[in-house]
A and B are shown apart, each in its own frame.
Chain A
Amino acid sequence: MKNKLMEWRKREGSAYLFLAPYLILFTLFIVLPVGLSMLLSFSDFDSVNFPHWVGLKNYISLFTSDAVFMQYVLPNTLKFSLIAGPLGYILSFLMAWMLAQIPKRPRTVLALILYSPSMTSGVAMTVIWKVLFNGDQTGYLNSILLNWGFIREPIQWLQSTDWLMPVMILVTLWSSMGVGFLAMLAGILDVDQEMYEAGYIDGVRNRFQEIVYITIPSLKPQMLFGAVMAVVNTFQAGAIGVTLSGSNPTPQYAGQLALNHIEDYGFLRYEMGYASATSVVLLLLILVSSKAVFRVFGEKE
């Protein structure tokens, strides 16, 4: 027994030594919270008394008696992520593809501009968006639209149930060209020229076919990375409605997403068990979306 342990230490010990700091922190702050979330989701926990087991109760009420969740939060989350996610992703790919076809200097400048929103923090930018989309006539957008005669009354962009969601999607799209975009750009630049030559000999006839048969297949790993980043960024942007409208819940729940619902129950009402159940549902949603993405791009060659 002791010999085996010694042998293991000799063979794999140094690997674990190098890995240890990361592994410990990773377990403590990523794995454990996810595990605890699952456990808490089966309990009733008010943050003061010790949680007690309630089985599936939280999930049952989430899906059967929480009108806000079923009527607003879930549909909003799906709508928001199904529009902002894929659209941001396609936009990133197209921009990367075009950038790859211009010389290096202008490419670097334009790529930097397109990437720059990813460097601003969400909180920081609300100050800008709030002024641009201000609800009275002093708002920049309202002022322009009034001036040009498109509208007669200023629109309450951030308080209106019709407009809050589109504004949220727009702001998210604005900052969608992040790490995934850079990965795809680098990937396209890295595709072997011979691949294209071979493709054209094999009968590729136009640019569209070129994208479908050469660029995307040679780019699959980066496309997958970009897609996973797009999924995560979209779900992470979940708090944006609250920051834009300035209130949780958002006006008539128009911009209420899963993250806000968690915050609402967890930190405003102290129903931690219930909030955890919502967290688990959100994490599952992210996992399912990513799996779908893996299915499209991730096949092994």
Chain B
Amino acid sequence: MASIQGKKMNPTRFHRSQIKFYLVLVPMAILTGLPIVFIFSQALKPLDELYLYPPRFLVSHPSFSSFRKLFEAMNSSEVPIYRYFYNSFLSTFLTVVCTVFITAFAGYALSKKDFKAKNLIFSINTTALMFVGAAVRIPRYLIIYEIGLIDNFAVHIVPALAMPVGLFLVKQFMDQIPNELLEAAKIDGATDWYTFLRIVVPLSRSSLATVVILTFQAAWNSVEASELYLNHDNLKTFAYYMSTLTTTGNDVAGIGMAAAATLIMFIPNLVIFIFMQNNVMSTMAHSGIK
């Protein structure tokens, strides 16, 4: 009789039979990781190594000259460097905080409240998972124009707050919280608001952390608002400044600066994800579309 292979799922220790998986996974991880390693390497190359022919993949004498150049270039532009960073931090922070609250409210209503349109709204939201924002840029522009968000800092934040994937994940996660718990709280005299804040939110921390990560990545990397809806440079973000480097900086020094900027963009995403990856994994276990 065949042995029970499924026992091999989620093993606690190394076993010889796992070697074949490593033989696939490790080369795949190397292939995937190479461009990431390349960003680091490229960003740390001094000017003469960027010019080097034949080109070498890894940096041999790491230096911060590209970073220095980047900051010099930003200082000499009309908008001071800290302005771009300030805009990026502020808009990302506000987007993340507001999205988490809005999504938690909506998730609570869709998961724990009874009302007629509940299933309809949730299935519309599930359809909206397929929504590709870039496809409807024109009407989006018209709407943003009509509500007066053009050249307004809020345009970084407001259009990004409704995130169908976030709501979907949070609602599915909240479905795991037993209704009896909420009913017991109600009998004990807890208000709706108290139940939400003291029971539902703490128990759905993981899924809310996942929303934090997804929103952060989207907001931090976003150039849409700076590109389309803002005319004044002092309202634009670091991500936008970076994208101008990649389109104009074709000389070698430009390439080094662009790589340095890419690295600055990438690191926060990485750090936040590493800190929160446990939350993400426990959220994703409930992510199924049923």
- By a beta-carbon cutoff of 8 Å, the part of chain A in contact with chain B is 11-12, 14-16, 18-19, 21-23, 25-26, 28-37, 40, 95, 98-104, 106, 108, 110, 112-121, 123-132, 137-140, 143, 147, 174, 177, 179, 182-183, 185-191, 193, 195-197, 199-200, 204-207, 210, 214, 220-222, 224-225, 228-229, 231-232, 235-236, 238-239, 246, 258-259, 262-263, 266-267, 272, 275-276, 279, 282-283, 286-287, 290, 298, 300
B262 CB contacts on chain A under 8 angstroms: 120, 124-125, 127-128
A267 CB contacts on chain B under 8 angstroms: 137
9 cross-chain CB contacts under 8 A: A16-B109, A25-B159, A25-B161, A32-B143, A106-B22, A119-B266, A197-B4, A221-B288, A228-B129
Q: Per DSSP, are chain B's interface residues mostly helix, strand or loop, or mixed?
A: helix
Instruction: Determine how close the nearest CB of chain A comes to the CB of B273; give it in whole angstroms.
Output: 6
Docked CA distance A259–B263 (Å): 27
- Nearest chain A residue, comparing its CB with the CB of B282: A186
B55: which of A29, A138, A220 is its contact (CB, 8 Å)? A138
> Are A21 and B35 CB-contacts (below 8 A) given A210-B5, A259-B135?
no
Docked CA distance A95–B6 (Å): 17
Q: Is the C-beta of B179 less than 8 angstroms from some C-beta in chain A?
A: no
A224: which of B4, B14, B158, B288 is its contact (CB, 8 Å)? B288
Q: Are A103 and B14 in contact (CB under 8 A)?
A: yes
Q: Is the C-beta of B225 less than 8 angstroms from some C-beta in chain A?
A: no
B130: which of A117, A127, A286 is its contact (CB, 8 Å)? A286
Q: Is the C-beta of B290 less than 8 angstroms from some C-beta in chain A?
A: yes
B221 CB contacts on chain A under 8 angstroms: 120-121, 123-124
Q: Is the C-beta of B192 less than 8 angstroms from some C-beta in chain A?
A: yes
Q: Are B265 and A121 in contact (CB under 8 A)?
A: yes
> Which stretch of B71-79, B84-92, B100-108 is in the interface?
B100-108
Chain A proximity mask over B220-251: 1 for CB below 8 Å, otherwise 0: 01010000000000000001001101110000
Q: Are B289 and A221 in contact (CB under 8 A)?
A: yes
Which residues of B, 62-76, contact A by the 8 Å Cβ criterion? none
> Are A127 and B255 CB-contacts (below 8 A) given A120-B262, A174-B32?
yes
